[in-house]
Amino acid sequence: MTSVDYASETVMITGASSGLGVEFAHQLAAKGADLVLVARRQDRLEKVAKDVRDRHGVTVTVIAKDLSKPGIAGEIAWELSQRQVTVTSLINNAGFANYKPFTEIPTDRLRSEIAVNIGALVELTHTFLPKFEERGSGFIINISSIAGFQPSPGMVVYGASKAFVLSFTEGLWSERKDKGVRFLAICPGPTETEFFTVAGSDKADGGLKRMESAEVVSIGLDTLDRKTPPPSVVTGLQNKVLTSVSQRMPRRLVASVLGKMMG
């Protein structure tokens, strides 16, 4: 594969109203990509869109949708068709965690977490991938986490959802490798975003040093741009060491150690 020609791309970014989503928008726009920004908060999206347009001069389309709704990918595809916007690549960035003991989290909140972290990601990929493959180009970036490599006491559904995202992306990378579409799971550790506010506690970082979102996105896009990109990348030396060590330790010990870190 050659490097990605971002100037010919229209990239849809979910969770684009804050954090990594905003950073993806700016870094991709700086490379010449047009954008479709998706999140729940219309006002926040419009503000991000204006900033991106003013700074980079690209076309930005805003779609305010609740990604926890079943069938949301079809709604988004229909709206794009009405606006005559053709998406050529996808970044499934939307996701959130609940930092509480499992039994203390309301069922509806857990259902929404699974719907956003897994359901919307799968639906959107399933809806748009065939179109990308018809063109024989484009990319799909899915945001996983170092939590996908080991259990996450205190955020058990979040960790399990990110393990799904990692496995799902790597499976597609292998299954669809001859179709011309790039796949990459980016696995950050704790990152300076609104994640901890939404999760409900700063303790959700496990005491680890937080990376800046700009660095996470830069590493991800640099990895995607390789001639033969890998199916996944862990961002940051601290996070690479942690995941490497945890994969070599007995699972029982890993779960116990992380339980103490997250307590």
* 158 part of the active site: yes
Picking from 152, 184, 173, the residue whose alpha carbon sits closest to that of residue 11 is 184
Q: Which two tokens stand for residue 126?
A: 């399933």
Q: Distance between CA atoms of 88 and 220, rounded to whole angstroms?
A: 18
The rounded radius of gyration (Å) of the Cα atoms in the chain is 18
**Which H or E run includes 185?**
strand 182-187
Whole-Å CA distances, 117 to 14, 47, 97, 150, 232? 11, 24, 9, 17, 17
Q: How far apart are alpha carbons 41 and 137 in whole angstroms?
A: 30
Single out the catalytic residue among 158, 173, 183, 196. Answer: 158
The catalytic residues are 158
